[in-house]
């Protein structure tokens, strides 16, 4: 099961098939997922080739696709507790937060500790470059201005293969895991899925 959240709260909770009916996939999104830059540089043999040529295929290759993988649920591989950001946090404070920890994407929460979006380090830096004059003048810009919303989340018993499809289709580098009370309880990133794929027996995502 998947859910959609933004600053107004949860607007959807249903299956992947119904998610695709309410949250359309753009044609250019289907093959544009790629590993984090650090993962490409450290692990992929085609790191110096044009990214567009191997983005989706590289992800499948890295996952060591196998026919003998068992179903794995999100709660089995998710990271927890989850490092988060408040949507009211200043842009400069958010930048410092990324500098001082190892994560490249963080869920964004409102004052009620409900998830409202996601912020990646890449998007934050792009926002800072595009708004450098405003940032320099301390114009009051916050994480709410730079985050991506709405965000797609999953239930803890969601099949990890379906989470991987959401990452590919909707360009999410991580999927928050929420419970029936809409509380954030974990995060499944590409690194979590890659670790599951490297286990024995390996996780099979495209069977």
The DSSP annotation for 43-79 comes to: H-TTTTS-HHHHHHHHHHHHTT--TTPPP-BHHHH-B
Proportion of the chain above pLDDT 70, given as a percent: 73
Supply 196's token pair.
Answer: 């599951």
- The stretches in the chain having pLDDT less than 50 are 27-54, 64-68, 207
Supply 4's token pair.
Answer: 């959609």
Q: What is the pLDDT of residues 91-117, one digit of tens each?
A: 999 999 999 888 899 999 999 999 999
CB 160 within 8 A of CB 193: yes
State the CB neighbour count (10 A cutoff) for residue 64: 15
Q: What is the pLDDT of residues 161-186, one digit of tens each?
A: 999 999 999 999 899 999 999 999 99
Which domains does the chain show, CATH number per domain? 2-30+63-197 (3.10.580.10)
């Amino acid at each position: 099961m998947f859910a959609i959240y933004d600053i107004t709260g949860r607007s959807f909770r249903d299956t992947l098939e119904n998610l695709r009916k309410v949250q359309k996939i753009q044609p250019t999104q289907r093959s544009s997922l790629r590993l984090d830059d650090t993962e490409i540089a450290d692990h992929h043999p085609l790191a110096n080739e044009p990214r567009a040529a191997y983005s989706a295929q590289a992800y499948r290759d890295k996952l060591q696709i196998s026919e003998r993988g068992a179903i794995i649920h999100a709660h089995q591989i998710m990271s927890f507790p989850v490092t988060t950001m408040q949507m009211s946090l200043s842009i400069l404070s958010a930048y410092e937060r990324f500098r001082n920890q190892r994560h490249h994407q963080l869920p964004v929460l409102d004052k009620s500790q409900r998830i409202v979006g996601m912020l990646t380090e890449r998007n934050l830096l792009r926002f800072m470059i595009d708004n450098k004059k405003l940032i320099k003048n301390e114009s009051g810009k916050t994480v709410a201005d730079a985050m991506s919303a709405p965000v797609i989340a999953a239930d803890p018993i969601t099949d990890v293969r379906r989470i991987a499809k959401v990452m590919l289709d909707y360009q999410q580098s991580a999927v928050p895991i929420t419970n029936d009370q809409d509380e954030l309880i974990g995060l499944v990133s590409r690194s979590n899925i890659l670790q599951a794929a490297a286990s024995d027996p390996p996780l099979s995502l495209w069977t």
